[in-house]
Amino acid sequence: MGAAVALALSSSSRLAADLVWAPDSGWKVEGGALAGLTGSQGTQALDLMNRARHDEDRGHKGSAISTYEKVAKKYPGSVYAPEALYRAGVLLEGRKQYYSAFTDFQSVLRRYPNTKRFNDVIGEQYRIASALLNGNHNRIWGWIPSFANRTKGIEYFEVILLNAPYSDYAPLALMDVARGFQYEKSLPDAIDALDRLVNTYPQSVLAPVAYLKLGDLHASLSDGPQYDQASTKEAMTYYEDYMILFPGDTNIPAAAAGVDKMKTILARSKIYIGDFYFFKRLNFAAARVFYNEAITAYPDSAPAQLARKRLADVDAKAAKFAVAPGTPKPKKRFWLF
């Protein structure tokens, strides 16, 4: 029982402790009684931290990174460890060793979730993911550039969403995920990311942009009036939702133009089907149904005007095929050869 109490006191002291750097005195623990280490171990850890910081300030980044990571590995339970991993990550990022930097930052969050550096770490991870998505090259050993890897950037944004789902970075990350999938021509995945944004973060300042982009992406998947209209209807829905939810937004004219285009395509698709039944099958009843649906889909449009003309043509042609009541059927004739 006494050991448990001592451990609890030790843990709370470490959590309360704050690590501060001063050029004249080096690293110093403030606000807490313990650094998580005692005796020679505490001295060795502090010496390593000071050596790493002096190397960092002199521009010896490789040596500083190595020493910081050594502190984190050798003294994981100390107050120095999260700061050492964070500083190593910053230096690695500066050398464009993005993969290693992201790994060190992730280690900070996984091992020390209550760290005061939480927001700083998420910000650094976001910058790394953005750099990779924008085509920056990871550098091996800090100087050999590897191939661009935008997919890795998308993967890192998803990690950020798991790390900080309620942070300001979360909707930004989803918008960037959508942008990455657009670049890779994977439009269904881009749509999924934007859909997650509008459903999970409807109050975000990015929600209006996401709705409009969803309309545009679905519209780009519409193959025209001769094909399936599922994407056309989805695009129209998102444009209309955007106009209802954000009536004062500056992009309302663009959304209205999108609705007009989608309604026109939808009305024309009804005419194509009506034409099939009218001209190919002489099925006047079915043709009327689809021409009327074209008018209903967009009453004041050019396709609606064409649909009304087609209805008149249907009526005229149907009249020719009609047989007056009581008219006797023509007698069959038999021919002998």
For residue 120, give every residue at least 6 positions away whose Cβ sits within 8 Å of its Cβ, in sequence order, or none.
86
Q: Is the confidence at residue 190, as pLDDT, over 90? A: yes
- Residue 28 confidence (pLDDT): 87
% of the chain beyond a pLDDT of 70: 88
Percent of the chain with pLDDT over 90: 81
Matching residue, tokens 């280690």: 107
Question: Is 129 part of a structural domain of the chain?
Answer: no
In tens, the pLDDT along 72-123 reads 999 998 999 999 999 999 999 999 999 999 999 999 999 999 999 999 999 9
**What's the pLDDT score for residue 180?**
98
- Inform me whether the pLDDT recorded for 1 exceeds 60: no
In a domain, 37, yes or no: yes
pLDDT at 18: 78
Domain-embedded: residue 276: no
Can you tell me whether residue 328 is helix, strand or coil?
coil
pLDDT of residue 43: 86
Residue 300 lies in a domain: no
Q: What is the pLDDT of residue 14?
A: 43
What confidence score (pLDDT) does residue 9 get?
A: 37
Angle at 203 between CA 202 and CA 206, to 5 degrees: 80
pLDDT of residue 324: 52
The reply to whether 291 falls in a domain is no
Write out the DSSP string of 286-324. HHHHHHHHHHHHSTTSHHHHHHHHHHHHHHHHHHHH---
Task: Determine the structural domain holding residue 29 and report its residue range.
Answer: 20-94
Q: Return the pLDDT at 142.
A: 87
Give per-residue burial for 32-61: e unless 16+ CB within 10 Å, then b: bebbbbeeeebeebbebbebbbebbeeeeb
Query: Residue range 172-189: average pLDDT?
Result: 97
pLDDT tens for 135-161 read 999 999 889 999 999 999 999 999 999
For 18, phi and psi rounded to 5 degrees?
-130, 135
Give the Cα separation of 238 and 191 in Å (integer): 11
Residue 62 lies in a domain: yes
Residue whose token pair is 């993005």: 98
52 assigned to some structural domain: yes
| Overall domain count for the chain | 1
Identify whether 68 is part of a domain.
yes
The rounded distance, in Å, linking the Cα atoms of 158 and 129 is 10
